[in-house]
A and B are shown apart, each in its own frame.
Chain A
């Protein structure tokens, strides 16, 4: 350590601070670009911004005064990565150096894109995109207001489609500039004017295709709010872009092209036509049904009415049927009886004594009383006897009576 020596120049704190300031001025006086992440962001009541820029190893204090920060297109907040341009300044009262930021750009994403995301976030939180706020388009919008450029392709497309597909629709055009400085204000004013005019059923906010830059007006807060505040339902049709605009997000309905917006209306008309057709058919069917039912009732009634003669015929038929049945039963009964009788006769024949005679036997009886002679003791010589054979008879006189069974003489 060097010893204090009189010939060495000794600085006061202020002097050395000033000297350091001079070194910084000489080194970074033309301004430097510094990249870092914002932390400890504070917006003072004076409007000045105080924050730190940091990376993984170091921290740099920074200030952005109101004169510079009001030019910012996006909102500063902790965590966003930025590239700053400014000078490095020494702040004596604290013995600190800090960056005085003149310009700032978000890193990675364009300032505009970041601003868009931030605004989108803000409007989302406020509820501008809420589905609950979205209104149904009218049943059939007969009067359509269009906020677009009167000289653009969008209005031509819309008018062309409506003329072809829905010629019943009147159009009120509120011509506005759709790009460039002040366009957003005009678009918003157009929406408000149509609301004040209050004679259209729906508003189409539209422009044809273009670059993201061209379509930027439709991302402005003033347009988003005008759409949100519109009492008349709004269709947003901001041309052909891949990303949806804020106007799209707030609108009650959004489509990608002006043509598609006009087609919504044509479709509505066609749907109503189809509905009318089906209602007409249903009515026709119902009336036919009613007539059909009445016809059937009539036929049923006609059938249920019968003349007395018809009744008589009916009775006669019953009698016929019955007697037919009776006859058949009777005939059957007779047949059965006949068969039974025949069977009996056959049996009777088999048992007849005459059948015995047919085998060569004969039967003798007294001629006087025709009583059968069963024993020789009953007869005597000279009795007249009648003998019956199977095929006839003869009469004879008894010559002799013997008890020998074998020697009977006739």
Chain B
């Protein structure tokens, strides 16, 4: 639960803004290329976040009013 994935939505909004700016056609080539580079980087980050395979499956327990997480065994998995 430490992975910071929250900015994904923000990043996509930023990306949409960049696309809008670019399609407006009012940018100089230098500005456009800078935005483009920024946009590609954002898109890469977002894709990476979504492709991340380091997932955790945990079981939530409650003991004395405190929560604890235990790894959940997925042995049974796959026999749909």
Contact B56 A171 (CB under 8 A): yes
Contact B52 A167 (CB under 8 A): yes
Segment of A63-71, A104-112, A288-296, A382-390 in the binding face: A288-296
Among candidates B3, B23, B27, residue contacting A282 with C-beta atoms closer than 8 Å:
B23
Given contacts A282-B19, A286-B25, A290-B32, contact A168 B49 (CB under 8 A): yes
CB-CB nearest in chain B for A174: B60
Contact A276 B12 (CB under 8 A): yes
Segment of A29-37, A122-130, A137-145, A372-380 in the binding face: A137-145
What B residues does A166 contact at CB under 8 A?
Answer: 50
* Chain B nearest CB, measured from A313 CB (Å): 35
Contact A150 B72 (CB under 8 A): yes
- Provide the bound-state CA to CA distance between A396 and B57, in Å: 155
Most B C-beta atoms less than 10 A away, residue of A173, A285, A289, A291: A173
Contact B67 A142 (CB under 8 A): no
Segment of A43-51, A73-81, A267-275 in the binding face: A267-275
CB-CB nearest in chain A for B73: A150
Contact B55 A171 (CB under 8 A): yes
Contact B79 A276 (CB under 8 A): no
Assess whether A250 is interfacial by the CB under 8 Å rule. no
Q: Which of B60-80 contact A (CB under 8 A)?
A: 60, 62, 67, 69, 72, 74, 76-80
* Chain A nearest CB, measured from B71 CB (Å): 11
Contact B36 A272 (CB under 8 A): no
Most B C-beta atoms less than 10 A away, residue of A156, A168, A173: A168
Contact A175 B59 (CB under 8 A): yes
CB-CB nearest in chain A for B76: A156
Given contacts A159-B77, A286-B23, contact A173 B55 (CB under 8 A): no
Contact B55 A286 (CB under 8 A): no
What B residues does A140 contact at CB under 8 A?
Answer: 5, 8-9, 50
Given contacts A170-B57, A171-B72, A174-B60, contact A279 B19 (CB under 8 A): yes
CB-CB nearest in chain B for A150: B59
Q: Which of B35-59 contact A (CB under 8 A)?
A: 35-36, 39-40, 43, 46-47, 49-53, 55-59
CB-CB nearest in chain A for B67: A197
What A residues does B53 contact at CB under 8 A?
Answer: 167-168
Contact B59 A168 (CB under 8 A): no
- Provide the bound-state CA to CA distance between A169 and B52, in Å: 8
Contact A276 B9 (CB under 8 A): no
Most B C-beta atoms less than 10 A away, residue of A160, A197, A286: A286
What B residues does A169 contact at CB under 8 A?
Answer: 55
What A residues does B33 contact at CB under 8 A?
Answer: 287
Given contacts A167-B52, A272-B46, contact A173 B77 (CB under 8 A): no
* Chain A nearest CB, measured from B26 CB (Å): 10
What A residues does B22 contact at CB under 8 A?
Answer: 282-283, 286-287, 290
What B residues does A285 contact at CB under 8 A?
Answer: 23
CB-CB nearest in chain A for B33: A287
Contact A279 B39 (CB under 8 A): yes
Contact A143 B1 (CB under 8 A): yes
What B residues does A204 contact at CB under 8 A?
Answer: none
User: Can you list 30 A-B contacts with CB-CB less than 8 angstroms, sorted by A residue number?
Assistant: A139-B12, A150-B59, A150-B72, A156-B77, A159-B57, A167-B52, A168-B5, A168-B55, A170-B1, A170-B56, A170-B57, A170-B58, A172-B1, A173-B57, A173-B58, A173-B72, A194-B60, A269-B50, A273-B47, A276-B12, A276-B46, A279-B16, A279-B19, A282-B19, A283-B19, A283-B36, A283-B43, A286-B22, A286-B25, A289-B25
> Which residues of A line the B interface, CB within 8 A?
139-140, 142-143, 145, 150, 156-157, 159-160, 162-163, 166-175, 193-194, 196-197, 199, 269, 272-273, 275-276, 279-280, 282-287, 289-291, 293-294
Extra contacts besides A142-B8, A163-B77 (11): CB < 8 Å: A139-B12, A145-B60, A150-B59, A168-B55, A170-B57, A171-B57, A172-B1, A193-B67, A286-B19, A287-B36, A290-B22
